[in-house]
Structure 1
Amino acid sequence: MAGSLVCCSLSVVADDTANIKIDPISQVITQHKTTILGNKISYQATTGTQPVWDEQGNATATLFYTYYQRTDVKDVTRQPLIMSFNGGPGSASVWMHIAYTGPRILNIDSEGYPVQPYGVQTNPYSILDVADIVFVNPVNTGYSRVLPDKDGKMPDKDKQKSMFFGVNADVKYLAGWLNTFVTQHNRWLSPKYLIGESYGTTRVSGLALELQNAQWMYLNGVVLVSPTELGLKREGPVEAANRLPYFAATAWYHKKLPADLQALDLDDLLPQVEEFTLNRLLPALSKGGFIDAQEKADVLKQMARYSGLSETFIAGQNLDVSTWTFWKELLRDESKTVGRLDSRYLGIDKQDVGDNPDYFAELTAWLHAFTPAINYYLREELNYKTDVKYNMFGPVHPWEREGDKTGENLRQAMAQNPFLQVMVQSGYYDGATNYFDAKYSMWQLDPSGKMRERLSFKGYRSGHMMYLRREDLQKSNQDLREFIQGSLPAPGSPAQYPR
């Protein structure tokens, strides 16, 4: 494994936490080999920083990235490029990088729990066999940082917010950065894809249209992993009703359902719960306090069967059970709480009483495993050496959320680009961005139904980061592989709608 470092003469910026300087332009290249699905491949890893430029040509920030490119492919113009983002907002690209699609993944057990010794291992299911990947860290995440202005002064917080820390500002500067990246690495002729996780789905949905309209860069696909609402409102009765399928999946996992339901496979149970949610629960919640007493009693009984909660508990919340109380209540009799982002994980609270868990068991477990792994991997295997702190979660708040039309932007991008396809991936045990909300958003993304054949959904028996479970790591990567291969048009096919 050979490495080479290139830096620049631009001004450097201090890391806020340690008064350490970071190079705005840097690059380290290493050569590697791996085996994916039994096939040996060679690839090059480029880690570095690349500036964000304003309209006057001034560098306003520098973004840290890791770019994997196969070196045994003869025609790079036929090799797809995946541009990968995580969420938060304020989260580094670490999660999908070393746990999902990259060639190396962290050491965890088959269900996703941390193990020691810490470190990384080969990812035998990585999509690097069918696509090159760049993992991008937005401003203040990973090693990415704001730069001082031309006078050497750091912009104040309000200025930084207007430049970087909001739904639309984030999309705008990242689109320009991607243009520069694609140009520098000669990838304009390659088929291009965006993948985003959690808030990253908001980011890539907005980027799909911004890249087309402002950068004239057209995509073949967008993948939404554990998507947010994308500006497609789910309020009132819809928000309350949509939680039930997630409750049912979690209760099934923890064996809290009646025997007849518990005996069903999850794939057989969830369609029943979804049908009840849409056709019985949603209308009942819409009637509020004027619901017929018998209808309310019938709905209460069925909700209790599907959720693992008591009728009394549900009635006390007027059929509107929050996720917070669910995480605390489901296993209260066992003195356990369930995780928010992945409800397979168990926590223990100081007291069994109360409405909310003391902490999120899954997040503490993930940070336990990811933090040492990414710091080791970048420095020791990819040879990128810096004393700047790697921000797993960086300072980006308050985040400007006004004007979020990213779902509509994605619909418009699809309408303008007949080649563009979208796939949604969700874990059934994710309580933060639950899978039925994801389905609902997909249904609402194109109300006309004219593009429904270009929208698809895949569900997994795990949580927010469904790929942490080994079985779902294999399945979700294969779904990605098939999505990429299936969205590549035949050579010479025109991007047009048939008459």
Structure 2
Amino acid sequence: MKFAASLALAIALAAAPALAEEKAAKEDKPAAAKPAEAKQAEVVPQVHSTKHSGVFGGQKLSYTATIGETILKGEDGTQKAAVVTTSYVKEPRDPSRPVTFLFNGGPGSGSVWLQMGAFGPKRVAIPSDARDDGAPPYPIVDNPDSLLDVTDLVFIDPPGTGFSYLIGKTEPKEFYGVTQDAKAVAEVIRRWLGDNGRWNSPKFLGGESYGTTRSAAVTNQLVNSTFNDVGLNGVILISTILDLAAGSESPGNELGYITNLPSMAAVALYHGKATAPSVEAFAEEARQFAIGPYASALLKGQKLSTEERASIRRQLAHFTGLSEAYLEEADLRVTPGRFFKELLRDRGLTVGRLDSRYTGKDADNAGENPDNDPSFYGIDAGYTAAVNSWERDSLGFKTDREYQSISGIGEDWDWRVKDLPDARGYLNVAPYIGQALRENSAMRVFVAQGYYDFATPFFGAEYSLSRSGIPQDRIQFSYYHAGHMMYVRDEDRSKLSHDIRQFIRAR
């Protein structure tokens, strides 16, 4: 063993000089070049324009429809995202004519809803009376309620929605967030104004649902920024959600119960679970109870007296249509999900979240929450079919990508906002609206709310826009007898169009 070990050591020592020479030779030899990474192929944006005519607001006019991609780039010039816009511009073109930029919400929703349901020159005709949309073919009809008679229209699908997408190795975090998204949309707006010679046109911004959150954040990027400001004449908020923390169902937050109560009253009345002369009168009665006795009772918590508890319980039953026994078991606090399930349980039905006029039937009537939202699955197929047919076949947009009516990007959303105090714990973008109103004496805000909307309750919108620092004299509210997407009801679509048309004309 000792001999073998000595022999091995001798061999190693003898080989050392040779190994050293071989290593030195390798170090002197230039290293082989690494294969170059494949360069990202440049996206060539497609743009298609077509000529059309129609009658809008009683006025016959010609217009150009343009669907195209705007490429957003990083500081190093790398292509980051392709944003698809669909614009409708009256001919002959007039640079002094108003232009309105519109988008939907989610986050993750394409502009299909406002474009094919409310304001585009064509719309999908689905039942107006809260019945489901059935099966295709869905009629795509002329839309006399389009706003084209008073304003040019630009529908924007932010990155990750509609046909818009991230390019190459772009990280979602670069665009999927309150501020990141707002910066991208603001850039698209500035680019469109420059490309179309519209910098001095009257300008309006409008969004629905999270699109109202986006409207506030984009307003901040356009109006409250320190460079290249874009003055706005007005902001249109449809189904408003600005104070995202107010409606949170986190234990200890009582505000959501207060802001939801007037909506519960309206829905109970609609379905015959309450009695009142009108929804307007009953909603006002519920507002006063919610902000007064009910708020006081909730804030007292377990210090609420037995007598006061009984009084509050009786009044809650009056407004909600729920039994006192159920309300007692719920500790006087009914979440929307429980309300959807409980209100019509005796009929074996649930009510919708986006629009509580709609009803559905669950597999199990004994459950605590509905299986699904009948007001969404009742309309989504018709809208998806319509936007694909219109944009692909009629407007000529060519792509193998699927149109994202509702994508899943909200799961990656960055809700932090650095320039608002404590925004990580309490996200409220209403101060952006307040600042813009204070710093632009000609800017106004239009707010459209449906009585039967639980995604963005009307009392929550009123609450968020009545806070300190927000001028009240230039905020206009209008109410509708439908839900989140009030334009699915024919009468409300016409009323919404009329109200916004008047808002734009009054600039």
Alignment TM class, shorter chain as reference: 0.7 to 0.9
Residue 223 of structure 1 corresponds to 236
Compared CA separation, residues 332 and 293, structure 1 to 2 (3 A): same
Question: Residue 500 of structure 2 is aligned with which of 480, 484, 490?
Answer: 480
Residue 196 (str. 1) matches residue 188 (str. 2): no
Which aligned pairs between 1:30-429 and structure 2 lie closer than 5 A?
Answer: 30-72=50-92, 76-111=94-129, 113=131, 114-115=133-134, 116-148=136-168, 154-155=169-170, 159-161=171-173, 163-212=174-223, 213=225, 214-230=227-243, 233=246, 236-257=253-274, 261-262=275-276, 264-396=277-409, 397-403=411-417, 404-429=427-452
Measured against aligned partners, the alpha-carbon deviations of 1:374-423 in whole angstroms (never above 9, x if no partner) come to 11111222222322211112242321112245221221112111111111
Letter in 2 for 1:426: Q
Compare 469-478 and 359-368 and name the one that shifted more: 359-368
On the 8 A contact 1:206/1:407 being kept in 2, the answer is: no
d(CA) in 2 for partners of 1:227 and 1:38?
29
Measured against aligned partners, the alpha-carbon deviations of 1:294-343 in whole angstroms (never above 9, x if no partner) come to 11111110110111100111111111100000000000011110011111
Letter in 2 for 1:80: P
d(CA) in 2 for partners of 1:166 and 1:448?
25
Compared CA separation, residues 12 and 460, structure 1 to 2 (3 A): farther
Q: The residue matched to 1:78 in structure 2 has which SS?
A: coil
On the 8 A contact 1:232/1:441 being kept in 2, the answer is: no
d(CA) in 1 for partners of 2:150 and 2:287?
35
On the 8 A contact 2:160/2:404 being kept in 1, the answer is: yes
Residue 464 of structure 2 corresponds to 441
Measured against aligned partners, the alpha-carbon deviations of 1:31-53 in whole angstroms (never above 9, x if no partner) come to 11111232211111000111112
TM-score, normalised to structure 1, is 0.87
Q: The residue matched to 1:463 in structure 2 has which SS?
A: coil
Measured against aligned partners, the alpha-carbon deviations of 1:142-172 in whole angstroms (never above 9, x if no partner) come to 1111112xxxxx13xxx321x1011111112
**Structure exhibiting the larger radius of gyration computed from Cα positions:** 2
What percent of counterpart residues are identical? Answer: 35
Q: The residue matched to 2:322 in structure 1 has which SS?
A: coil
d(CA) in 1 for partners of 2:376 and 2:118?
17
d(CA) in 2 for partners of 1:433 and 1:461?
14
d(CA) in 2 for partners of 1:42 and 1:439?
39
1:231 Cα deviation (Å)? 5.2
1:362 Cα deviation (Å)? 1.1
Letter in 2 for 1:106: V
Measured against aligned partners, the alpha-carbon deviations of 1:41-95 in whole angstroms (never above 9, x if no partner) come to 111100011111223333210001100001145xx23211111011100111100
Residue 494 of structure 1 corresponds to none
1:24 Cα deviation (Å)? 4.7
d(CA) in 2 for partners of 1:333 and 1:439?
33
Aligned length: 451
Residue 27 of structure 2 corresponds to none
On the 8 A contact 1:340/1:432 being kept in 2, the answer is: yes
Q: The residue matched to 2:378 in structure 1 has which SS?
A: helix
On the 8 A contact 2:130/2:358 being kept in 1, the answer is: no
d(CA) in 1 for partners of 2:192 and 2:158?
14
On the 8 A contact 2:126/2:379 being kept in 1, the answer is: no
Residue 454 of structure 1 corresponds to 474
1:366 Cα deviation (Å)? 1.7
Residue 431 of structure 1 corresponds to 454
